[in-house]
Amino acid sequence: MDKVEFGALIPFARLADVPQFARKVEQLGYDYLACGEHVMFRGPITNSLICLSVAAGATERIKLMSSVVLLPLYQPVLLAKLTSVLDVASGGRYHMGVGVGGEFPDEFAACGVPVRERGARANEALELIRRLWTEDCVSFEGRYNRTTGITLAPKPAQKPHPPIWVAGRKEAAMRRAALYGDGWLPYMYTPAMVRQSIETIAEFRAARGRSMTDFRVGLFIFVCIMANRDEARAQAIQTLSRNYGQDFSKLVDKYVLYGTADDCRRRLEEFVNAGARTVIFAWACHPKAVEENLVRLAEAVIPAFR
């Protein structure tokens, strides 16, 4: 079995102490420090490129993942430049997770991007960004982007380029991952969904003559680990319902890792057996309990998969 890697998400409530949190995650032996983003949301929200840049200066070894960049909201040439510089500045540690968003339409309106175009824009952006990362004198004629003879320097430190992780839940995202990605990062998934998505992505890649050999399967999962299973479940429902403006009471049992360390180990094993090899933990606990959850996972759950 391939090595199972683990990452921890920078919580929105900890923006003022990103360096401290990043160092803690690295010291605990996590493989990734991850950060999500929105332009605007239901409360204070971060930007992954800014926070990971701060984290890069506070750490030495841990990989840095956007989970995820809201790709349709960026001009692709500018995003290629920003991520190239971040990869160089971090010593080749940046991983670009991408998603198309859409769950908060106001930010698309604010950025002048039609929500209905987000998938097509993302696909075109990935094609252009990969070329800008790896080629000189790039000319590109697309529906949304046109370039003539553009060369970006410096190029990313990682060769041929930083890994691209495609997030999502539906078949369009799986196709995007198969065509443009180096990894798949589904969210709000069950083990059965992980297994089925791997089969679908493998079919898409095979149609293009590409294998799954160098393709990595991940999982972005909310977690709440406590001494009492029922209390963990209640806290996860309360936290996620508040953060996402919807009732999670009917979703928590399917999509959230919660309960005691033993509960979380058993459930996580199902995802690993289904094929997940990079697990990014996001927080379904009270903000004040994030660090305790971070430590419990590192000490009582992750070692079972090393």
- Is residue 103 part of the annotated active site? The answer reads yes
φ, ψ (nearest 5 deg) of residue 170: -105, 175
Catalytic residue among 60, 103, 135, 292: 103
Contact 255, 221 (CB under 8 A): yes
SS (H, E, C) 131-161: HHHHCCCEEEECCCCEEEEECCCCCCCCCCC
Quickly count: other Cβ atoms within 10 Å of residue 249's Cβ.
Answer: 14
Q: Tokens in use for 108?
A: 């698309």
Residue type, 170: K
Which residues are within 8 A (CB) of 184 and not within 5 positions of it... i.e. 6 or more apart? 165, 166, 174, 177, 197, 198, 201, 215, 216, 217, 218
- Is residue 286 part of the annotated active site? The answer reads no
Whose tokens are 């490129």? That residue is 49
H-run or E-run covering 72: none
**CA 102, 249, 169: angle at the middle one, nearest 5?**
35
Catalytic residue among 26, 37, 38, 161: 38
Positions marked active-site:
38, 103
